[in-house]
Amino acid sequence: MKLTNEWNRLVYRLWSPVYDALISRFYERERRRAVEALKLQRGERVLLVGIGTGADLPLLPEGVEAVGVDLSPDMLRRAQSKLPLAGRAIALVQADAQEPVLAESRFDAAIFNLILSVIPDGAACWREALRVLKPGGRAIVFDKFLPENGSLTVGRRLLNLFTTLIGTDINRRFSDLATGGGFAVVRDEPSVLRGAYRIIEVRKEHRGI
């Protein structure tokens, strides 16, 4: 099964009432680690791609301006319930992060927490977010990926039949999604589940993408 926008809207409508209680708590420490790695500064503008229920919002330092984008209106309503947050200017946008909806070179930083394995076309999502980053801007990724040198086993293929039903694809490699160049990887660290999840930081090159 391949993920689609229509399927994700349905799945995350079902997830939305319980996502924070069942899922967000498990990932809170690594979300914090990812956001802190960006070293966001007062006055910077940050894009949260696939903001979901807004679990990353309380992790943002005061003084930043943030835009959170998500396809699911149900998840966005949960994010909206966490606002306002003191000292942070935050706007939520219901949109498809695979499509050009924001101005080019607008953001200093972008956060991809648990989205590249969920959105149907992860490569399109990556290209679009990189487009709206300023030259020299940075992005942080926390997600599950197939190891770069690992083989796609029969067992993993079968497991992925189940995980896509609940809205996530475990068989994507970061290198297959982050294509087209225009950026440099400056951090690539193992995260939870013995490195099945990774935290990856990149910087957009000044020459553009």
User: pLDDT digits over 122-160, tens only?
Assistant: 999 999 999 999 999 999 999 999 998 888 899 999 999
The number of angstroms, rounded, from the C-alpha of 93 to the middle of its chain's C-alpha atoms is: 15
Please state, in angstroms and as integers, the Cα–Cα distance from residue 164 to each residue in 11, 119, 120, following that order: 10, 11, 10
pLDDT at 208 exceeding the cut of 50: no
Q: What is the pLDDT of residue 149?
A: 86
Residues 6+ apart with CB under 8 A from 76: 51, 68, 70, 92, 94
7-46: pLDDT as tens digits: 999 999 999 999 999 998 899 999 999 999 999 999 999 9
- Go through the domains of the chain in sequence order and give each one's CATH number: 5-204 (3.40.50.150)
The model carries a pTM of 0.95
